[in-house]
């Protein structure tokens, strides 16, 4: 089973909303928990790994590394377990700490130095990692939005320890806090105006690609609308033929992408699709107060999470339970994750 099914609510505010509102407080706890941890990285590179939201959070934090002499890469855990080889250090992220391929990707390489970041100190990941980091904050919704921000901050801290660089964590937390408040209001009003949406593409280039993937994952989990997170230019190579009047494009935009995004936005008008620009142009635009290119995708997610939430509420969908109240979907999950597995 993916995880224990939480308290089932039938209307707003769902647990996902509560968790988003609790995020700034949780980030302060995470900072306190993680900042003094000592991590003795071995010589050589770092491989960041995990599944889904945890994987994305891990990558987003490590994207802060600017020193070319501090090599790192990221490999999804199943790939690491079966096909690829990690660097001398592995940093694995898992909210539950029990996700099979994440745990296996550490177990398979006992000779490497591993850091396991989890919210459960009794989990396999915490037990088997050379160094375990436990975030003392529970995310009650299976959408794991609060856990995403906790893990992103933990990843930023770990990346800074690896790079031996300094960073303004308090400033980061207050920026996220401010964004979350604005995002709730602005995304609620966009959702009211947006009209029918049956499929969604989330586009992002550079550091924003992983945020596009994470946004698409959350849109699927919360709203049950099919969403695809795709590299900005890749969208133009195949996705245009399935874009139509019920399609929404969410563009997570660096300044450098502006003219390409404008062109795409003009193109989609021929088939009646609509767009939201986060940090860039769109039918609906969200301005971001951007301090640097690695914070931008994390800031963008404050908005896309609230968009997913308000859209779920509008559609009458409980975003907390991954459809596990429907027998077919519960059985589906039990088939792919039998008792005790994830």
Ligand X SMILES: N[C@@H]1[C@@H](O)[C@H](O)[C@@H](COP(=O)(O)O)O[C@@H]1O
Q: Which residues bind ligand X (CB under 6 A)?
A: 2, 51-54, 94-96, 99, 102, 144, 221, 322
**Residue among 280 and 297 whose Cβ is closer to ligand X:** 297
Q: How far is the CB of 61 from ligand X (least distance, A)?
A: 14
- Give the C-alpha distances (Å, rounded to integers) separating 311 from 29, 144, 317: 29, 17, 9
Backbone φ and ψ for 190, nearest 5 degrees, come out as -65, -45
CA–CA separation, 55 and 50 (whole Å) = 4
Q: How far is the CB of 92 from ligand X (least distance, A)?
A: 9
**Residue among 95 and 310 whose Cβ is closer to ligand X:** 95
CA–CA separation, 291 and 203 (whole Å) = 21
**Residue among 242 and 336 whose Cβ is closer to ligand X:** 336
Yes or no: say if 23 and 146 are a contact pair by the CB < 8 Å rule: yes
**Residue among 97 and 277 whose Cβ is closer to ligand X:** 97
Q: How far is the CB of 214 from ligand X (least distance, A)?
A: 9
**Residue among 274 and 342 whose Cβ is closer to ligand X:** 342
Query: Using alpha carbons only, what angle is made at residue 152 by residues 148 and 155, rounded to the nearest 5 degrees?
Result: 135
CA–CA separation, 216 and 231 (whole Å) = 12
Q: Which residue is nearest to ligand X (CB)?
A: 52
**Residue among 145 and 247 whose Cβ is closer to ligand X:** 145
CB neighbour burial string for 164-189, b if at least 16 within 10 angstroms, e if fewer:
eeeeebeebbebbeebbebbbebbbe
Query: Using alpha carbons only, what angle is made at residue 168 by residues 164 and 172, rounded to the nearest 5 degrees?
Result: 125
């Amino acid at each position: 089973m993916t995880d224990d099914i939480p308290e089932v609510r039938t209307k707003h505010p769902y647990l996902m909303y509560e968790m988003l509102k609790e995020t700034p407080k949780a980030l302060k706890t995470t900072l306190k928990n993680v900042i003094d941890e000592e991590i003795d990285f071995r010589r050589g590179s770092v491989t960041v790994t995990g599944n889904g939201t945890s994987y994305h959070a891990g990558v987003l934090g490590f994207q802060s590394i600017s020193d070319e002499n501090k090599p790192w890469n990221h490999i999804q855990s199943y790939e690491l377990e079966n096909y690829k080889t990690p660097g001398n250090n592995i940093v694995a992220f898992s909210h539950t700490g029990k996700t099979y391929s994440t745990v296996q990707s550490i177990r398979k390489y006992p000779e490497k130095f591993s850091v396991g970041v989890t919210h459960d100190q009794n989990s396999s990941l915490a037990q088997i990692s050379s160094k375990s980091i436990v975030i003392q904050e529970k995310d009650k919704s299976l959408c794991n939005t609060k856990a995403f921000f906790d893990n992103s901050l933990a990843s930023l801290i770990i990346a800074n320890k690896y790079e031996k660089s300094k960073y303004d964590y308090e400033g980061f937390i207050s920026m996220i806090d401010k964004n979350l408040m604005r995002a709730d209001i602005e995304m609620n009003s966009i959702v009211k105006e947006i009209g029918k949406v049956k499929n969604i593409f989330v586009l992002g280039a550079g550091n924003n690609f992983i945020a596009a993937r994470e946004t698409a994952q959350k849109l699927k989990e919360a709203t049950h609308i099919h969403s695809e997170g795709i590299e900005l230019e890749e969208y133009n190579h195949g996705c245009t033929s399935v874009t139509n009047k019920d399609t929404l494009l969410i563009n997570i935009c660096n300044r450098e992408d502006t003219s390409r995004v404008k062109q795409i936005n003009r193109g989609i008008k021929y088939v009646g699709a609509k767009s939201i620009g986060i940090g860039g142009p769109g039918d609906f635009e969200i301005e971001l107060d951007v301090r640097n290119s690695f914070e931008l995708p994390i800031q963008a997610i404050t908005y896309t999470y609230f968009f997913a939430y308000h859209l779920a509420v509008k559609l009458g969908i409980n975003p907390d339970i991954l459809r596990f109240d429907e027998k077919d979907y519960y059985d589906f999950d039990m088939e792919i994750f039998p008792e005790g597995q994830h």
